[in-house]
Amino acid sequence: MTANVIPFRGVVYNQDKVDITKVVAPPYDKISPELQEKLYQRDPHNYVYLHFGKIFPQDTEASSRYTRSAETRREWIDEKILVKHGSPSFYPYEIEFIEPGKPGSAPRKLKGFIALLRTSSAKVYEHEHTLLGPRKDRLSLMHATSSQFGPVYMLYSDPDDKAFRILENATTNLTPFITTPDQFGDIHKMWCVDDSEVTKSVEKLLDQTEFYIADGHHRFNTAKTYAQELSASGVKIEGRERAEYCLCFFTNAGKDKPTILPTHRLVKPKAGFDRAKFLATLAEEFEIHEYPWHNEIDQPRMRQEFLEDLRLDGTAKKVIGLAMKGERAYRLLTLKDFKRVKKFLPARESLAYQQLTIVVLHSLILEHYLGITSDEIGRGEHIGYQRHIEDALASVENDDFEIAFLLNPTKIEEMLEVAKVGGKMPQKSTDFYPKLMSGLVHFEVQK
């Protein structure tokens, strides 16, 4: 029987023909129109041409970003810009990074490997809902190119780290075939391990392992849909390097844990919003500690104290930071009694889900207190998002948003527990860091 995690013959850039530092790119869903243009100009062989090409007004079904990607890929293979490894390989992958918001801190390393996961038999837990638009986009690209260009970010548990240690030991005397920085200055390194004894050992160790998607839910579900559609059309999908497999990056959740960053919420209240009434309602279920300032000299000191308390109190309590336009005070909201607000939380969800601070924010404050429905939140109405606290506070001070809710990051253990019982967390509940680089290796599906 085919194993759940297998090596594959990866397609990589030929570094005799390209400067790898100029052709790699961020994940497709992190590329803004401005960044896309920069990547287009950076190098005519940048990976963005393959995995996130431009859309033009005159595009048709016969001539689109997807057909251009397929044509470009064929040209690059013919020109040997892209080459395919001859032997099935695992690709150990290391990222040396500094945590955002912690300048001067010691670098950390995230270690894992890229391989294929059998979607038809592996046990995979998800924690996010997917959206139709991104799924259709990735599926169209997959049909046009028969390729998976970016790995799904997978977590697994291996307390003794046996599988990765076998791969790491196999790279002891090897030089990484890729070393490149990303736009944040993080350093990405990749090796290639094709020793059949090593690959078989890793296959066996991980064959009964459970996996959790950290990032890449759209890519994973698209890979499954692609396989189903091929199968329905009579194409064989079973077997190594065929469509029942999905390109994944695997990292041990109990070893070199990735960082989860918070995504702060910005709100434009609906018409008729009464600020005094809102604060009074909050006080019924939250202890509210204020950090007032009287002049511009006081403000930085109070902001630092407020943010430090938000971080420290969040280790043991459900706390939410609050900033409101035009007010000379920050507020720290600490939930008084979870049992009292449980009736406002999704009744069908698990206790682990209900106890997430972000769920309390969405269900109790945004939906119940502010009257913003979950559908409106899903459509991005009345709400915005910022990764960086300073940007969130600036959006309230300078933009159209009236309220900023500041959060601590979701813990990996919380995400795993929710996913294990089938829970789907609110949108933008987790933002994993560091980001995987696109363009290091991709998977050509065999038909």
Q: How many helices (H) and strands (E) would you count in the chain?
A: 16, 21
> Given a cut of 80, is residue 232 above it in pLDDT?
yes
- Which residue matches tokens 């009074």? 280
How high is the pLDDT of residue 1? 59
How high is the pLDDT of residue 117? 97
- Which residue matches tokens 């109190």? 313
How high is the pLDDT of residue 255? 74
What average pLDDT is seen over the chain?
A: 94
Q: What is the mean pLDDT of residues 53-63?
A: 95
Q: At 333, is the secondary structure helix, strand, or coil? A: strand
Q: What is the mean pLDDT of residues 231-253?
A: 95
Q: What is the mean pLDDT of residues 64-78?
A: 98
State what percent of residues in the chain have pLDDT above 70: 100
Q: Which residue has the higher pLDDT, 100 or 145?
A: 145
Q: What is the mean pLDDT of residues 263-270?
A: 96
Distance in angstroms (rounded) separating the CA atoms of residues 328 and 323? 9
> Given a cut of 80, is residue 414 above it in pLDDT?
yes
Distance in angstroms (rounded) separating the CA atoms of residues 229 and 223? 10
CB atoms near residue 419 (< 10 Å): 24
Q: What is the pLDDT of residues 415-445, one digit of tens each?
A: 999 999 999 999 889 999 999 999 999 999 9
How high is the pLDDT of residue 378? 86
Phi and psi for 259 in degrees, rounded to 5?
Answer: -90, 140
CB atoms near residue 399 (< 10 Å): 13
Report H helices in 129-179.
Answer: 132-145, 162-170
How high is the pLDDT of residue 47? 98
Residue 97's beta-bridge partner residues? 108
Q: What is the pLDDT of residues 295-351, one digit of tens each?
A: 888 899 999 999 999 998 888 888 999 999 999 999 999 999 998 898 989 888 999
- Which residue matches tokens 């005159």? 58
How high is the pLDDT of residue 93? 98
Q: What is the mean pLDDT of residues 156-181?
A: 95
> Given a cut of 90, is residue 36 above it in pLDDT?
yes
Q: What is the pLDDT of residues 366-407, one digit of tens each?
A: 999 999 999 999 888 999 999 999 999 999 988 889 999 999
Contacts (Cβ under 8 Å, ≥6 apart) of 36: 48, 52, 54
How high is the pLDDT of residue 179? 98
Q: What is the pTM of this model?
A: 0.93
> Given a cut of 90, is residue 102 above it in pLDDT?
no
Token pair belonging to 323: 């900033």
How high is the pLDDT of residue 258? 82
